[in-house]
Homo-oligomer: A and B are copies of this chain.
């Protein structure tokens, strides 16, 4: 069961993916094709519904010409004090 903080974290990652996808004028289907993942999978990641594994995150990042770290940056930008 993901906590509220976990859900917010997953949603921020999804938002960053959607922002970069939109910046490249790609549809979810086009992004899915580029990274060899299913369109519905991309949709669920963007909605913050999926605790995505880092190899899938890496595929998505490459398709978006970003690094995996880019997609997690400012999702949790400050390390816990």
Are A68 and B72 in contact, with the CB atoms below 8 A? Answer: yes
Q: Which residues of B contact A51 (CB under 8 A)?
A: 53-55
Q: Among A9, A52, A58, find the residue whose CB has the most chain B CB atoms closer than 10 A.
A: A58
Q: Which residues of B contact A52 (CB under 8 A)?
A: 53-54
Bound complex: CA A54 to CA B49 (Å) = 12
Listed in ascending order, the chain A residues whose CB lies under 8 Å from chain B are: 2, 6, 9-10, 13, 51-55, 57-58, 61-62, 65-70, 72-73, 75-80
Can you list 9 A-B pairs with a CB-CB distance of less than 8 A? A2-B55, A54-B57, A62-B76, A62-B80, A66-B79, A67-B72, A68-B75, A69-B73, A69-B77
